[in-house]
Amino acid sequence: MRVAILGIGALGCLLGAHLEPVADVVLLGHWPAQLAALRRDGLRLEHPDGRHSHHRLAVADDPAAAGRANVVLVAVKSRQTPDAARAAERLLGPDGLALTLQNGLNNRAALRAVLGEARVALGVTAQGATTLAPGVVRHAGHGPTYLGRDAALGPAQRDCLSEIATLFGRAGFETALVDDADGLAWGKLVANAAINPLTALLRVPNGFLLEHAALVAIMRQTAAEVAAVAERQGIALPEGDAGERAIAVARGTAANRSSMLQDVERGTLTEIDAICGAVVRAGRAAGVATPLNSRLASLVAQVESGNPPVAPGDVAGLIRQLDPAMR
């Protein structure tokens, strides 16, 4: 199977390193330093157990140089999804499949707007990865991956999805096919909304949040807002309390620096609009108040504009900023 991975950040490189032994893989992206490092030195992957491995990966910055693919894995930032959709259109034949493994909401819809419903599937992965330097990625933690066997998929695409699930398993990723991935995507959104903005604002790893009762309370309320919006829309989340799930994710990824924090540290735009911003818009449409998600979105937007509202590690300052939304 020919697999094209759109995105050469941490997740794209992690997928490429694991899939390369079992499939014909090419990575596509535009980050100059990463492209140069991968072409010159290959990928150095640090595993959760401390081992290191080296991988020579095919990389390109133009779909025309990559050739046709059976499956396109979309691992770019949400703001780049429209461009990824157009790249996937050039890479895929009529029977091809685009599979989004991105954070946030509405990526599947953006891909379908270009590729059609029959050629786009939704995936949800708990695999964690961090870029340490160009060409160097840490596999921060294992977790299950779910691929949605959507009723809108065409017969050929359903076969592709089954084949990619098998390849993921052979590559060492715990993978399952599910009939509806929407609830799982919202379940991941619960954790992303509760954890990522706080880590980005404070410039701290996930586990830091659990050391402060006030931050844990903010995580719980933020997660509860996401769950309330999902419930109003008739979306069934994975079982269990939303706040407890977010806390469990933070505990299980304590050493990880969230993707939003990594974006802030690099000085690039974050995915806050596709995470908390998307919750706010969905809540407004459904008549559900989301004051904490709204405030977190505003504060992270301040960071993006070069005007951070709090100093790194200033928990008390951040709580003052968020207190009105907690009432």
Q: Give the catalytic positions in this structure.
A: 188
Report d(CA 41, CA 36) in Å as an integer.
Answer: 8
Which tokens sit at 122?
């939704």
Q: Which of 286, 285, 283, 307 is nearest to 294 (CA)?
A: 283
Beta bridge partners of 262: none
Contact indicator for 203, 277 with CB cutoff of 8 Å: no
Which long-range contacts link 35-42 to residues 24+ away (Cβ below 8 Å)? 35/8, 35/59, 35/61, 36/134, 37/133, 37/134, 37/135, 37/136, 38/8, 38/13, 38/135, 40/135, 41/135, 42/135
What is the chain's alpha carbon radius of gyration, rounded to the nearest angstrom? 19
CA distance 299 to 292: 10
Burial environment of residue 306 by CB neighbours within 10 A (0 to 12, 13 to 18, 19 or more):
exposed
Tell me how crowded residue 34 is: count the other CB atoms within 10 A of its CB: 24
